[in-house]
Structure 1
Amino acid sequence: MARSTEPKISVLCVDDSALVRSLMTEIINSQPDMHVCATAPDPLVARELIKQHNPDVLTLDVEMPRMDGLDFLEKLMRLRPMPVVMVSSLTERGSEITLRALELGAVDFVTKPRVGIRDGMLEYSEKLADKIRAAARARVRQAPHVVHAAPGAAAAASKPTPNLNNPLVSTEKLIIVGASTGGTEAIRELLLPLPPDAPGVMIAQHMPPGFTKSFAQRLNGLCRIAVKEAEHGERVLPGHAYIAPGDAHLVLARSGANYVAHLSDAPPVNRHRPSVDVLFRSAAQNAGKNVLGVILTGMGRDGAQGMLEMQQAGAYTFAQDEASCVVFGMPREAIATGGVSEVAPLSEMTRRVMARLNSMGERTQRV
């Protein structure tokens, strides 16, 4: 078999733990298409190594000595934007710092490897390698100005209650969203302009346990709709967005005339739990033509088949366009499968979704 002439992805690993640096080096160098060009114990050393090695991808610990990882990332994305994968701890503070890092322009994140525990390392190795490959192909963006809110700040404030007597506020209509790499910021951009009387929104974003609650709280502090981590058995209401918890499939079900969120610990689909395909397929089966489907930036093909099934059930479906995606994987596959009704840039997505909803409401009134 002929060897690939494609140059290997060069990776610079920045972590204050010598053990983690060693483990990351072992994992990355075991992959046939990537190698560690250097490691650094802190951002000040990393700064010189970036100039020396010009790596394709940087892995960066979120909590670092001498210079905070976020401060370093902010400077890096302003002065020399490059693909960064954050290495986060599985703590509440770690999840909040990681979400801020994604706002600043990091492509993706992984949780810290379980040093000293070899069980499960194969799965971790594959996940890390996949994220590095995606980062190497990603469109790196400079961080936009982001308005911040304390997690859960809006939960204490009363949000407008949707007027269910408004004919355009239908409890039958739903917006169903799937995303992966780059999706946290894309979802934020999609949800921010939604009015308080928007239809219920259900979201499957590839994210590990422990991060989805912080993600939902962060969005809830920014959006006019209420955003929360989905709970098993709760009713799906207008003016609310429900995010699949890490490590659980989110499924749309019916209870009489109501839509209900179900959570499932069934095996991963397309190597993911939550899986976009699982959510999309349940929407096709239980809501059909009342659904507006949206597939956003992400690596792989999760959601492509489910989106086709939604469209075949009468749903209108959108895919984010290549130019605005961090990684044009999932939208490309959905388009290629034939399940996409319309392709739109992220900056236009909410307006087009709402225009389509309004036209659906007007047709309902005429009928």
Structure 2
Amino acid sequence: MYTVLVIDDSASMRRIIKDMINSIDEFEVVCVATDAFDAREKIKEYEPDLVTIDINMPKMDGVVFLRNLMRLHPMPAVIISGESVRGNDIFDDGAVGFIPKPSNGESMQSFQDRVKDTLLNLTFLLKRYTLKKPKGTKKVPTNTLNIEYKIHPDEVIPSNPSKLPGMKLIAIGSSTGGVESLLRVFKKLPSDLPPILITQHIPYGFSNSFAHRLNDYSQVTVCEATDGMILERGHGYLAPGNMHLTIEKIGNEYRTKLLDTKKVSQHKPSVDVLFRSVNNNIGSAAMAIMMTGMGDDGTIAMKELFDNGAYTIAQNEESCVVFGMPMKAIQAGAVKDIIHLDQIADYIIDFAKGKRK
């Protein structure tokens, strides 16, 4: 059963949409919200598998809420709105579906059929999204949070720093706020750069669509990484939402290698796993970038890269949505330069030209 939050400022429309969704096998509306701020609290409380969002709402426009949702808590979202002229734009903002509200005398049955068709066509995505998601609709009581054993990267990938520099390569780690921040960086990048590997903490089922968004925004060719891809200049490789991204050297080529193992630093994919793999294979020829995010994932391996002579930078507090991961790396003495988000692309370009080491 897929759980749904319906967000609409109209009481009658909330009731209509709720009844329609509840009539569909495999779907259940667990709560409704009257505006974006109400929805924010309901998402925290019920952790639904899907949200439906109206565009015209008081306090915060539905599109603004959608953008904030994709930036801070990416999850499947369907727009149900009378503003059909904005239907195409919302897909660029991260929505997975758009259902126009009935107009010009359209029957409720026709509207219900469209709601049903859209949701049933999304079950493949919802199945992937909920595969790794804890069961249940209510949030975990606060006294049980953060008790998960924190796996050290040693349990997944041993540290074996490369003594000789490998090919030039760029590795990026990010979490909360990273989706929009990465888009801002990639928009400024040219095509002729060393390979870029990205670990962004993102739910399973969203990494492929996010890779497409990065690709559309940038001259860099970006894809969701699969096992055994040869690392090429001008290409970016995003870690899948449920796998660790690493690299290995086979002959004279460097290839991607995905690991379906334990969470590391409470994440899968983990920045620590990516950075350690880069240090094991690339060493001092690498550039590592720590961007906005909560927690400390990546700190251990970034310090190893720094100690091995790699060039490491962190996003500054001013430009971070959450100054957690960069702060921890800075405190660990793992960072050479601390820079604003809008400078990161320039530093990558300089590194590629040999101007920063």
* TM interval, short-chain normalised: 0.5 to 0.7
Change (3 A) 1:130 1:285: farther
Contact 2:55 2:62 in 1 (8 A): no
| Residue number in structure 2 paired with 1:73 | 62
Question: TM-score, length-normalised on structure 2?
Answer: 0.63
Does structure 1 residue 264 correspond to structure 2 residue 278?
Answer: no
User: What secondary structure, in the 3-state scheme, does the structure 1 residue paired with 2:334 have?
Assistant: coil
User: What secondary structure, in the 3-state scheme, does the structure 2 residue paired with 1:305 have?
Assistant: helix
Deviates more, 1:328-337 or 1:119-128: 119-128
Candidates 28, 46, 51, aligned match of 2:35: 46
Change (3 A) 1:212 1:239: same
Aligned equivalents of 2:143, 2:352: Cα separation in 1: 40
Does structure 1 residue 100 correspond to structure 2 residue 89?
Answer: no
Candidates 284, 287, 296, aligned match of 2:282: 287
Which amino acid counterpart does residue 331 of structure 1 have in structure 2? P
- Per-residue CA deviation, residues 80-119 of structure 1 (Å, 9 max, x unaligned), is 99x97465269xxxxx9687159xxxxxxxx9899xx9x9
Candidates 256, 276, 301, aligned match of 1:306: 301
Candidates 123, 127, 135, aligned match of 1:121: 135
| Residue number in structure 1 paired with 2:105 | none
Give RMSD over aligned pairs.
4.2
| Residue number in structure 2 paired with 1:5 | none
1:205-216 equivalent positions in 2, closer than 5 A: 205-216=200-211
Change (3 A) 1:238 1:327: same
| Residue number in structure 1 paired with 2:76 | 88
Which amino acid counterpart does residue 224 of structure 1 have in structure 2? Q
Residue 208 of structure 1: how far off its partner (Å): 1.8
| Residue number in structure 2 paired with 1:228 | 223
Aligned equivalents of 2:42, 2:72: Cα separation in 1: 5
Change (3 A) 1:247 1:346: same
Change (3 A) 1:259 1:77: closer
Change (3 A) 1:85 1:99: farther
| Residue number in structure 2 paired with 1:278 | 273
Aligned equivalents of 1:193, 1:66: Cα separation in 2: 30
| Residue number in structure 1 paired with 2:178 | 183
Change (3 A) 1:243 1:186: same
Contact 2:35 2:57 in 1 (8 A): no
Contact 1:86 1:98 in 2 (8 A): no
Structure 2 stretches of 5 or more lacking a match? 8-13, 79-88, 96-124, 146-164
Q: How many residues align?
A: 269
User: What secondary structure, in the 3-state scheme, does the structure 1 residue paired with 2:248 have?
Assistant: strand
Aligned equivalents of 1:278, 1:67: Cα separation in 2: 43
Aligned equivalents of 1:68, 1:198: Cα separation in 2: 43
Aligned equivalents of 1:128, 1:89: Cα separation in 2: 26
| Residue number in structure 2 paired with 1:330 | 325
Aligned equivalents of 2:282, 2:230: Cα separation in 1: 14
Candidates 174, 194, 200, aligned match of 2:195: 200
Question: TM-score, length-normalised on structure 1?
Answer: 0.62
User: What secondary structure, in the 3-state scheme, does the structure 1 residue paired with 2:35 have?
Assistant: helix
Which amino acid counterpart does residue 304 of structure 1 have in structure 2? T
Candidates 138, 158, 167, aligned match of 1:172: 167
Q: Indicate the percent of aligned positions where both proteins have the same amino acid.
A: 32
Change (3 A) 1:66 1:235: closer
Which amino acid counterpart does residue 100 of structure 1 have in structure 2? D
Which amino acid counterpart does residue 63 of structure 1 have in structure 2? T
Change (3 A) 1:98 1:21: farther
- Per-residue CA deviation, residues 51-108 of structure 1 (Å, 9 max, x unaligned), is xx8x985749642368599x93335699x99x97465269xxxxx9687159xxxxxx
Residue 195 of structure 1: how far off its partner (Å): 1.4
